[in-house]
Amino acid sequence: MTTRTDDAAPARPVSLGGPLIRFRVAAYATGVALLGLVVEMLLQYVFRVELPQFVKMIPMVHGGLYLIYLLLSVDLAIKARWSMKGTLLVLIAGCVPFFSFVMERKVTHKVQAGVKL
């Protein structure tokens, strides 16, 4: 008995709409939290401003959002079959101010065009 591959049903393309939207939300949230963290650190360590306790929670908020960003980025990377280099650049983007916004746009355009990162 031989197996014929030419009669096999074509593989269904993976829909990336849901993972892309989740990634975009996480990228924006992480980017905003990182900007808040930069402002908090400037105020606290450069200008020596005594900040309220709730403002001192920004590092934890950014850390939690960054973990979610990492998971959603890896999920999208696997489903979109990104290269290791592209995946690592996207993962690092959540740690560099403004870079998560830039990468979000780049990733969105590439995924919607069907191009691998």
Residue bearing tokens 């191009």: 115
Please state the rounded mean pLDDT for residues 87-114.
94
The pLDDT, as a whole number, for residue 66 is 97
Average pLDDT over residues 93-109: 95
Q: Residues 9-29: pLDDT tens digits?
A: 445 456 899 999 999 999 999
Residue 7: what residue type?
Answer: D
Where does 1-117 have alpha helices with state H? Answer: 17-41, 58-80, 84-92, 99-113
pLDDT (average), residues 100-110:
95
pTM: 0.85
Q: Maximum distance among all alpha carbons in the chain?
A: 78
pLDDT in tens, 35-80: 999 999 999 999 999 999 988 899 999 999 999 999 999 999 999 9
| Per-residue confidence (pLDDT) for residue 8, from 0 to 100 | 53
C-alpha–C-alpha distance, residues 34 and 19, integer Å: 22
Domain edges within the chain = 22-113
Tell me the C-alpha to C-alpha distance, in Å, between residue 110 and each of 1, 56, 103, 116: 43, 37, 10, 7
